[in-house]
Structure 1
Amino acid sequence: MVTFFIKFNMRKKILLILVVIAGFNSYAQNRKGQFKLLNQEKHQLLVSFEVPEQAQEIIDYYYENNKEFKNFVDTNKLQIEVAFQWNDEHFNKLREDAIRYSESDEAVLVLKGLYVVNNDLPNNELYKLAEQLEGFSFVRYAELNSLTPIAPPSVDIPPTTPNYFQNQTYIQANPGVNMQYAWNQGVFGQGIRVRDVEYGMSVTHEELTDPKFSNQLPISSLVNLSWLDHGTATAGVVAAHNGTYGVTGMQHGISEFKVFPEYTTSGYDRLFAINSAISASVAGDVILYEMQTGGVNSTTNSPNYVPAEYVNSIWDATKAATTAGIHIVAAAGNGGQNLDSTAYSSYMNRGDSGALMVGAGSNNTTHSRLNFSTYGQRVNVQGWGMGVLTSGYGDYAMLANDPNQSYTMFSGTSSATPVVASCVIALLSRAKASNYDLSPTEIRTILTTTGIAQGGNTSTHIGPFPNMQAAFTFLDNYLLSTNKVDAIPMNVFPNPASNELFVTFPTDYSTNEISIYDAVGRQVYYQKNYISNSSINVSSFKSGMYILKMKSNNAEQSKKIVIK
């Protein structure tokens, strides 16, 4: 029989149709034949099984109901264990949230089908097993993951100035994100919980001594100390203390900042760290992916870094989280790879995981791509990829030679990601204060619609740069639309729309005015005495979020619409 070693280590419907449509395509797409050996170091074999209805133990189900699979397992003496042991109550909550946000829990259920082969075998034998396992129709894919830790996505750019808060210019207006505007509105991240998946952070650093900072799993003693500094720097950008010394976090009022380390005393396991973060999160929480992985034709000397979700199982975990309303903000990676090239077609054909993908841009008003940043249409927005003053390392300052008083100029997609994550947190906090939970799709739409356009060579796409004043202005109008009592019983469809949309309402409201406004409040459509259920041509509208307003009988009603 199979030997198991179970690991116990630890809307509103308006915008979400896009996610559902993308989800169907991603699960139908063939994910087989994508595994590879990244290096000569030890690897782990992971297998994704289809999840049959009503089956509690997926591997038992196939072992007992498929003779060929049973013989294969017995012949090879396979030891198979679940990749992650989910708490049933929390897993059911993820499923409920997925249905609430995305009308389907399919992406969450996929996580139950992830297993690892626990046999200690050389790489060539694992490779052969992967090929054979993918021959079974109920295996979605096999995957070979290196057990050698992957460097976090930072690059070395020296400091140029001795100031602290004054040099946190990424907080101010363009070329910064204008987080000062959010502060002026009293928004500091109140009520938002943050998780970070990387190697850890120093909770003894003077910027991170508050109890809200914690490492959630025991960190391996083999972790490079500079990689711990990486987490210290990330935490500093987001939530460093607001005081009279050092730096100030962009959203220093968050309630939690928890790191889920990839490399623990149990070994290196990135998927386990991600699943642990998801298992500790609910809709409205934010998870940072401060990590990258080797891309096409990667070698030790030329790793060609791309997003961590390039790995099939990471994509599945990410999709499950975002479908359930958890916000994933992910580094695009420092490999300078073109994700639109045919070499990455298998990755792109999976569809959209729902993560907000962040590229590295310049720290000036051009907002052009830095040459190391991976790029392509999958990259949604950009943050500063250089010159981000924060805690850690000590290359900017090391007071009294004390690592707990160290500061750095952070860089790479590593620095870009917490800058953008802070913008996400601010929007979530603002909406939460109005008793509204923004979905990952809504957050992405707001930031891409209101951001400052990318400059330089725009053919290497990394998306716009966040503009918090414009984002807040749009969000405030959006919340008014969302929370207003239905003064007019109107319906707008299809939503999202591509070429035309329709508005329906009772005949009592035939004397009316219909207006449509874009993200910055400009009127782009107007019609008086619109006839219910007649076509409105929106084919010339740019993709993005809009507000449709109807006035009739001294009443007014607004609806959010998306043009794709």
Structure 2
Amino acid sequence: MPASSAAPGELIVVTTPTGPQITPLALRANRSARTRVDELLPAGARLVPIFGPDNRLAARVADTPQAPVAGEYLSYYSVHGELGDLAELAHRLREDDTVAAAYVKPAAEPPLAPHAANVVAPRAPAVTPDFRVRQAYLDAAPHGVDAVWAHARPGGLGTGVRVVDVEGAWRFTHEDLRQNQGGVIGGTTSADLGWRNHGTAVAGEISGDLNAFGITGIAPEAHIRAISIFGIGSAAAIRAAADAVDPGDILLIELHRPGPRFDYRATPDQRGYIAVEWWPDDFAAIRYAVGRGVIVVEAGGNGGENLDDAVYDSRPGDFPASWHNPFRAGPADSGAILVGAGAPPPGLHGRDHGPARSRLDFSNHGTRLDAQGWGREVTTTGYGDLQGGPDEDLWYTDEFSGTSSASPIVVGAIAAYQGVRATGSARATPDEIRTLLRTTGSPQTEAPGRPSTQRIGALPDLRAMITKG
């Protein structure tokens, strides 16, 4: 099956900061800067504020913990329309005093494992069988997340929890995605089959319907919706997703893009690809979401990179002077839960990818990684290699992979946990969830050439999470 087409590259402009808070003076200064940048753009191009109209932004952050620092959000814009050479336009914009930064983001891609290929099975049976036995990630720790145990607890099906998936396309008409989904609520859905299969597979892992056929989601009563990056860009999609949910709900970022290791070049092997939070506008959008109490889960990327490497400390010349390396974990990081890809149990589906929970060779690793999920052999909706035929609504796969397949496992576990928490004490905060994932779970293991010091974190264990609180 062909790989997904990449999303378009994006031109981002950051205007000169107007101060930490959104004040009347800051709004006037920001509008003046925007007018100046508009004058510099070619005919047919337009400046779009990533965080929405400034008056609405001010209302959204009023009386929240973000209010003292929300002024920075006023400065972020994406440029849309007929732009010509993006790099040349960015260079011209940086020469103006009102522009603090202007940079071109490489095209985002779904973090499916490198060279993954699925062959659609020729036909589907009259009735879809029950594939639950193939979903060992639902089983008890240490191989699975113990979703089966959680499902027997009040709220443990993810009841009342909302999830928004940020990527490119989905097939919400699938026979196993009918019960708890709200469709696409933003962006323009890509017509590409690769993106559509990818989003469908992600949704199935998290919230596949609870029925007698096909697959079962880790949190089948969680309500899942989606926002596409096409037409609006990744940071605007993240911001829109944050505005669509409540504190304690979950936002999933199913993207990665080529990083600085190989000069941002897109390659089939995905070497050097990294998590999107490295780019300033995506980082700001994630911080905005976390500041609103939303649990952000982010694919760690498939570049085989050590995110602790010094290469990520070097600020690109077109980034704002205030930029710092977000992969340096600590109080100044994004607050997102960064997910790596671990091996499933050996022998699953007749294949062996190394010791269970060892780092898969393509997975990024480092101090910043919080948790892992299976990066191979994930049975879910879409692709059609397990069950195919001419109707995509009946397609299932045994081979979903990458930090693509790993991240929804973590999301599903969080959704089930939050459902249980809501029946007792209040839902957990982003920081509480990240701490819980780092202090519980089935530990990462060693593999030849892939020591556990190459951190991807533990596989979530719902029984341990719920027991701990």
Q: How does 1:136-535 map to 2 (within 5 A)?
A: 141-146=101-106, 148=107, 150-155=108-113, 156=116, 164-173=131-140, 174-186=142-154, 187-210=156-179, 212-217=181-186, 219-220=188-189, 223-254=191-222, 256-263=223-230, 267=231, 269-296=233-260, 297=262, 298-301=264-267, 303=270, 304-346=272-314, 347=325, 348=327, 351-364=332-345, 366-398=356-388, 400-409=389-398, 410-456=400-446, 457-475=451-469
Per the TM alignment, residue 218 of structure 1 is displaced from its structure 2 partner at its CA by 6.0
Per the TM alignment, residue 315 of structure 1 is displaced from its structure 2 partner at its CA by 0.4
Give the number of aligned pairs. 415
Q: What is the CA–CA distance in structure 1 between the aligned matches of 2:51 and 2:60, rounded to whole Å?
A: 17
Secondary structure (helix, strand or coil) at the match of 1:397 reads coil
Q: What is the CA–CA distance in structure 1 between the aligned matches of 2:335 and 2:358, rounded to whole Å?
A: 24
Q: What is the CA–CA distance in structure 2 between the aligned matches of 1:473 and 1:349, rounded to whole Å?
A: 31
The structure showing larger relative contact order (alpha-carbon pairs under 8 Å, at least 6 residues apart) is 2
TM-score by length of 1: 0.67
Match of 1:112 among 74, 97, 102: 74
Change (3 A) 1:333 1:42: closer
Change (3 A) 1:107 1:414: farther
Q: What is the CA–CA distance in structure 1 between the aligned matches of 2:251 and 2:9, rounded to whole Å?
A: 28
Change (3 A) 1:74 1:472: closer
Q: What is the CA–CA distance in structure 2 between the aligned matches of 1:85 and 1:448, rounded to whole Å?
A: 34
TM-score by length of 2: 0.80
Secondary structure (helix, strand or coil) at the match of 2:242 reads helix
Amino acid at match of 1:407: Y
Per the TM alignment, residue 59 of structure 1 is displaced from its structure 2 partner at its CA by 7.3
Partner deviation per Cα, 1:285-338 (whole Å, 9 max, x = no partner): 100001111111231326421111111100011011112211101100111111
Q: In 1, are the aligned partners of 2:257 and 2:273 still within 8 Å (CA)?
A: yes
Alignment gaps of 5+ in structure 1: 1-38, 476-564
Q: What is the CA–CA distance in structure 1 between the aligned matches of 2:39 and 2:53, rounded to whole Å?
A: 27
Q: What is the CA–CA distance in structure 1 between the aligned matches of 2:36 and 2:413, rounded to whole Å?
A: 53
1:532: which partner in 2?
A: none
Report the structure, 1 or 2, having the larger strand content: 1
Q: In 1, are the aligned partners of 2:184 and 2:226 still within 8 Å (CA)?
A: yes
Per the TM alignment, residue 157 of structure 1 is displaced from its structure 2 partner at its CA by 6.7
Amino acid at match of 2:434: R
Which aligned segments of 4 or more residues in structure 1 are displaced greater than 6 angstroms? 69-73, 75-78
Looking at CA atoms only, which structure, 1 or 2, has the larger radius of gyration?
Answer: 1
Q: In 1, are the aligned partners of 2:300 and 2:364 still within 8 Å (CA)?
A: yes
CA RMSD of aligned residues (A): 2.9
Q: In 1, are the aligned partners of 2:9 and 2:104 still within 8 Å (CA)?
A: no
